[in-house]
Chain A
Amino acid sequence: QVQLVQSGAEVKEPGASVKVSCKASGYTFTSWYIHWVRQAPGRGLEWMGIINPSGGSASYAQKFQGRVTMTRDTSTSTVYMELSSLRSEDTALYYCAREGGGGSGSSNWFDPWGQGTLVTVSS
């Protein structure tokens, strides 16, 4: 079955960077785009950006431009999301999610989701 498994929780100091991984299995990795969405404690969902695992191109929400980088490793079917210059407001659960539908960037809904990675920013 299609599955996304994310890396474990992280605790970072303000100003540091964090890199979260998302390992895909159960489908052709390069055929479906991957999105990143975050959720602050007790809050709603916020889209961060999207990566095409085939060519590696990525697009980011303007809010995160300059601070976020999404990459992939096709040899391990893993995508990464790195967020820099962390501040307390970045404390959140970070989810990767595969695009739904037929793949190749044709859909902008998410199915399935990874289990989430909690990133805590605290001094």
Chain B
Amino acid sequence: AQSVTQPDIHITVSEGASLELRCNYSYGATPYLFWYVQSPGQGLQLLLKYFSGDTLVQGIKGFEAEFKRSQSSFNLRKPSVHWSDAAEYFCAVGGSSNTGKLIFGQGTTLQVKP
């Protein structure tokens, strides 16, 4: 079955600390992987994506993610978190045949302490 698991429902980090949000996926074909961020009551903003090539991808707002095929993971990282990063983060997987039909994880809520 195709699925995305975000093991951490809620994470709290101090401003300036590093961040890693975990994402594990199960997908039968070659996966296209995405991370989105959602502020309360808002839509989803695309942070970064992986389709092929370099397994370390850079995104907007200083985020990066690393694709590890052997671990079926696509973890999101940021070296230094800002208070404005507090939001809900979603990992999603799709396939090359219909890249917009995404399967999302349940999300991780990030809280940033001053």
Partners in one complex: no
Residues of A within 8 A of B (CB): none
